[in-house]
């Protein structure tokens, strides 16, 4: 779960930093938001690839564990 929180926090920080730099260059309003989303998305894709892999592994293992618990409860009820 920590990896999910860390990845999300890193994405937010990158977005805010990008928006701040764009605001310094004069971008305002919807243009600022659109450019910040696009640029921060590309930067995050490059810089956070390892963290994204760790986060997805955490999410997949959590979903798998949840599915196994569900299957156990279903078979327990059927018995």
Provide the residue-wise pLDDT of the chain in tens; the chain has 79 residues: 898 999 999 999 999 999 999 999 999 999 999 999 999 999 999 999 999 999 999 999 999 999 999 988 888 766 6
3-state secondary structure of 28: coil
Tokens of 70: 């569900």
Tell me how far apart the alpha carbons of residues 57 and 40 are, in angstroms, rounded to a whole number: 23
């Amino acid at each position: 779960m920590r990896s999910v929180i860390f990845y999300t926090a890193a994405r937010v920080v990158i977005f805010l930093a990008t928006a701040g730099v764009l605001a310094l260059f004069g971008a305002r309003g919807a243009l600022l938001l659109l450019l910040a989303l696009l640029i921060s998305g590309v930067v995050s894709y490059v810089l956070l690839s390892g963290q994204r892999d760790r986060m997805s592994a955490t999410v997949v293992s959590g979903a798998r564990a949840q599915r196994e618990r569900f299957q156990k409860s279903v078979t327990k009820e059927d018995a």
